[in-house]
Amino acid sequence: MNKLLLLIFFIATNVFAQEGDEDLKAVFADSQVEGTVVIENLDGSKRYVYNQSRAHTKLAVASTFKIPNTLIGVDEHLVTGKSSVFEWDGKEHDIKAWNQNQTLASAFQVSCVWCYQDIAKKVGAEKYKAYIKAMHYGALPDQFDVQTFWLDGTLKLTAYEQVNFLKRLYHHELTFSDNAFHVLKDIMLAEKTENYSMYAKSGWARRVESPVGWYVGYVESRSGVWFFATNLAVKDAKHLSLRKAMTVRALRHVGAI
């Protein structure tokens, strides 16, 4: 009986997902960039997926890891709030916005790699392995570079896994303090309109075998709470704006915003 129920659930889920593929084809039709998007509402009764195969493919998490890394940084007392300061050492970086002192809020918004590498050096490999395991956020090998593991393809997630993590984050089902959740939500706010508030993080892993650009997060809107994970095969910086643009188009297409 249990096997029959599982089979029915699997078939129903995949039929619904295929319908999502059709619904979202228009969003990807003109982009000329391979990608996927997974959108799911709060109770899981509605899910839309484009490109199921890619949605099940594990890819480097890139700077979307700044979401859990912020929680870790707060609970390890390495940062205390959005105004916590990272002092720039004067080293020039390709991205001009990084070449100055940062607060936690600005570091998150401009995706400042050196800021979060500063956190990583202080957390250390053993604690990261424990946190990653506790969060069910992929897996780390015994040996890895503590300053690049989220960028170099060591730590990977699928789009489905990103959404699952975000839902547990939203429900405070992760083992972090209320203060950590509060600080993260404060700095995750990416866009606020009369109709919705979007909490999100971008990411781009470009020096890996399969370059990927991410946009993940959730929206609180008049139609409820919706979680999303978009990833695109972005090899050139000129396509980075598509991450958010296509996500917003997809959310509108399914009526989430």
Cα-Cα-Cα-Cα torsion 48, 223, 189, 33, nearest 10 degrees, comes to 30
What is the helix (H) or strand (E) element at residue 169, kind and residue range? helix 159-170
CA atoms within 13 A on the CB side of 237: 2
Give domain limits for the chain: 17-253
Quote the pLDDT of residue 62.
98
Residues lower than pLDDT 70 in the chain: 1-23
Quote the pLDDT of residue 105.
98
pTM over 0.85: yes
Quote the pLDDT of residue 20.
54
Quote the pLDDT of residue 176.
98
Structural contact between residues 69 and 208, judged by C-beta atoms closer than 8 angstroms: no
210 has catalytic annotation: no
Cα(228)–Cα(37) distance, rounded to whole angstroms?
A: 7
In 10 A of CB 78, how many CB atoms? 17
Quote the pLDDT of residue 18.
42
Q: Which residue has the tokens 């390890």?
A: 76
Quote the pLDDT of residue 4.
55
Homologous superfamily in CATH for domain 17-253: DD-peptidase/beta-lactamase superfamily (3.40.710.10)
Quote the pLDDT of residue 114.
98
Residue 194 token pair? 């009369």
Quote the pLDDT of residue 11.
44
Active-site residue identified among 53, 63, 83, 221: 63
Quote the pLDDT of residue 23.
67
Return the DSSP state at 90: S
